[in-house]
Amino acid sequence: GRYHNVRDGDAGRPRDDNFQGFGQTTSDGEGGYKFLTIRPVAYTGRTPHIHFVVAAPGQRRFVTQMYVA
């Protein structure tokens, strides 16, 4: 699927109406987690990537990103 963006010129593919652009999950007792998303694509000046924010009570938020080849 694809998300809807006014700059998205590929109207030939079906739009994923469930895509929100964000999500959240909670890790299990061993720290494991999983999520399902669409594969990111590059845009001007940026490598395809996914942002992550890791938060825990009483701790500072950790913000990072994962690059996709």
Assess whether pLDDT exceeds 60 at residue 29: yes
What's the gap between Cα 14 and its chain centre? 19
Assess whether pLDDT exceeds 90 at residue 63: yes
Please state the rounded mean pLDDT for residues 49-68.
94
Instruction: State pLDDT tens for residues 37-46.
Output: 878 888 888 9
Q: Token match 């994962």: residue?
A: 66
pTM of the model: 0.61
Measured distance CA(56)–CA(17) in Å, rounded: 30
Mean pLDDT across the chain, nearest whole number? 83
